[in-house]
DNA sequence: TTGTTAAATAGTAATTATTCCTAAACAGGA
DNA sequence: TCCTGTTTAGGAATAATTACTATTTAACAA
């Protein structure tokens, strides 16, 4: 545990959440993780410390943390929810082969202008860029053929990689 | 039906897909739709014409169309898949209140540069920006409080709306 | 036009992720 | 320490999607 227990306790108190061992362990695991784990993955990570713990508790806890704004839910495929305790502005790089997610931290992406042509009364509170493609490992293993059951969105045509400074 | 039947038939043939009445109706409904419907919504739309049709057929058809690249799967929440037959580059504006999705077409968004700090061997093939917030109707009805079971991602801090031309 | 055949359809059952419900345990404040 | 409302754990329920399978049918060839 690199994250001081008292920091976590304070965050929980600040949100009116009780500090239980299970909750602390789940949140701590999520803070230390960089893989945007699913509820099940977090359960597997934490369960050894709490042989009695139920997956239900993980769902309940993630729901509480999400409602409190301590974590975010990241939806990549539609099949399962993934979670992220990193609240600082960042975007995601998703491998269509292995479904892995890597954080993208590039300040330039945080300065997008409000898009044209949207309803005037729509209030944008956040935005996020999802980059999709194949990681090195998947490109080597599959010879670039994308083998997965998932979407494979191609919303924008990227010719030979992203290009051009905007404006 | 604004979309000529023969156009659809040709697209199907080009992908090696058989042209069945059900498939044609499903694809046509998706082409005409602007709401990124779920499988169930498409089923409801098409079912009147085919009283015998099963929801299964909709799933099978959407899977086939997706595999052929004729449609995209759009994942907003994790609870259900949504589909889009609009293959031209565009992004999405998502209302956290009513879960509605509006297309965002702004050429500036299609010229993002490759992000910094990603693995060198990762090959990006596409990217998509998801803007989130509250539509006018939801802002009026809920007084800005977001009432939904869904995420509420806040990956980037947008102070008073998106701002600043990039670079 | 008529067979032939592989793909598509419809129906049912199974699976998976998640939520609901409830009693017992427990954290935090009085 | 005691109370009270939150949290936990367990089992059951739900919702979306997939799997299985027999029947039907589009597309191609004779």
Tell me the per-residue pLDDT of A61-96, one tens digit each, with 9 for 90 and over.
999 999 999 999 998 777 899 999 999 999 999 998
* A97 and A68 part of one domain: no
State the residue range of the domain holding B96: 88-142
Collect all residues of chain A within an 8 Å Cβ-Cβ radius of residue B119. 102, 135-136
The alpha carbon torsion through A86, A88, A89, A94 (nearest 10 deg) reads: -20
Interatomic separation, CA of residue B27 and C1' of nucleotide D28, rounded (Å): 24
Let me know if residue B162 belongs to a domain: no
What is the number of alpha carbons within 13 Å of residue B101 lying toward its C-beta? 21
What's the pLDDT tens digit per position in A23-53? Answer: 999 999 999 999 999 999 999 999 999 999 9
Residue A12: both structure tokens together: 């929980």
* B96 and B123 part of one domain: yes
Let me know if residue B151 belongs to a domain: no
How many whole angstroms separate alpha carbon B69 and alpha carbon B71? 5
How many whole angstroms separate alpha carbon B162 and alpha carbon A125? 9
Structural domain total, chain B: 2
Does any strand C atom come closer than 7 Å to the Cβ of A120? no
Q: What is the CA radius of gyration of chain B?
A: 19
Which stretches within chain A are classed as H helix?
5-14, 21-32, 39-46, 55-68, 136-142
Beta bridge partners, A91, equal: A104
What's the pLDDT tens digit per position in B55-88? Answer: 999 999 999 999 999 999 998 777 899 999 999 9
Picking from A48, A55, A46, the residue whose alpha carbon sits closest to that of residue A22 is A46
Which stretches within chain B are classed as H helix?
5-14, 21-32, 39-46, 55-68, 136-142
Residue A90: both structure tokens together: 């960042």
* Nucleotide in closest CA–C1' contact with A22: D8
DSSP A111: G
What's the pLDDT tens digit per position in B86-122? Answer: 999 999 999 988 888 999 999 999 999 999 999 999 9
B77-96 residues touching A, CB cutoff 8 A: 77-81, 87, 89-91, 93, 95-96
* B73 and B96 part of one domain: no
Which stretches within A97-162 are classed as H helix?
136-142
Residue A163: both structure tokens together: 């290009």
Helix (H, G, I), strand (E, B), or coil: what is residue A44? helix
How many whole angstroms separate alpha carbon A108 and alpha carbon A113? 11
Let me know if residue B26 belongs to a domain: yes
How many whole angstroms separate alpha carbon A118 and alpha carbon A124? 10
Nearest-CB residue to B167 (from A158, A162, A165): A165
Q: What is the CATH number of the domain that holds B64?
A: 1.10.10.10
DSSP B38: B
CA torsion sign for A15, A20, A24, A25 is negative
* pLDDT at residue A161 in the model: 38
Let me know if residue B13 belongs to a domain: yes
CA torsion sign for A105, A111, A117, A122 is positive
Q: Is-contact B126 A158, C-beta < 8 A?
A: yes
Q: Which of A30, A59, A83 is the last residue of a domain?
A: A83
Interatomic separation, CA of residue A81 and C1' of nucleotide C12, rounded (Å): 29
* B15 and B62 part of one domain: yes
* B65 and B102 part of one domain: no
Chain mean pLDDT for chain A: 85
How many whole angstroms separate alpha carbon A124 and alpha carbon A109? 16
What's the pLDDT tens digit per position in B4-44? Answer: 889 999 999 999 999 999 999 999 999 999 999 999 999 99
Residue B84: both structure tokens together: 């889009």
Let me know if residue B157 belongs to a domain: no
Interatomic separation, CA of residue B67 and C1' of nucleotide C13, rounded (Å): 25
* A10 and A43 part of one domain: yes
Let me know if residue B160 belongs to a domain: no
Question: Would you say residue B131 has pLDDT above 90?
Answer: yes
Helix (H, G, I), strand (E, B), or coil: what is residue A147? coil
DSSP of B79-123:
SS-EEE---SS-EEEEETTT--EEEE--GGGGGPPPPTT--TT-E
Picking from B82, B132, B41, the residue whose alpha carbon sits closest to that of residue A153 is B82
């Amino acid at each position: 545990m690199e994250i001081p227990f008292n920091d976590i306790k304070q965050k929980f108190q600040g949100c009116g959440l009780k500090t239980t061992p299970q909750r602390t362990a789940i949140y701590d695991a999520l803070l230390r993780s960089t893989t945007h784990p699913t509820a099940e993955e977090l359960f597997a990570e934490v369960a050894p410390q709490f042989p009695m713990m139920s997956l239900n508790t993980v769902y309940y806890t993630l729901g509480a943390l999400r409602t409190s704004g301590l974590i975010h839910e990241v939806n990549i495929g539609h099949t399962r929810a993934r979670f992220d305790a990193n609240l600082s502005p960042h975007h995601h790089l998703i491998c269509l082969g292995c479904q892995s997610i890597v954080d993208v931290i590039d300040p330039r992406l945080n300065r997008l202008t409000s898009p044209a042509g949207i309803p005037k009364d729509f209030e944008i509170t956040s935005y996020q860029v999802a980059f999709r493609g194949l990681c090195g490992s998947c490109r080597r293993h599959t010879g670039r053929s994308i083998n997965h059951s998932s979407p494979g969105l191609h919303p924008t045509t990227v010719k030979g990689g992203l290009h051009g400074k905007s404006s």
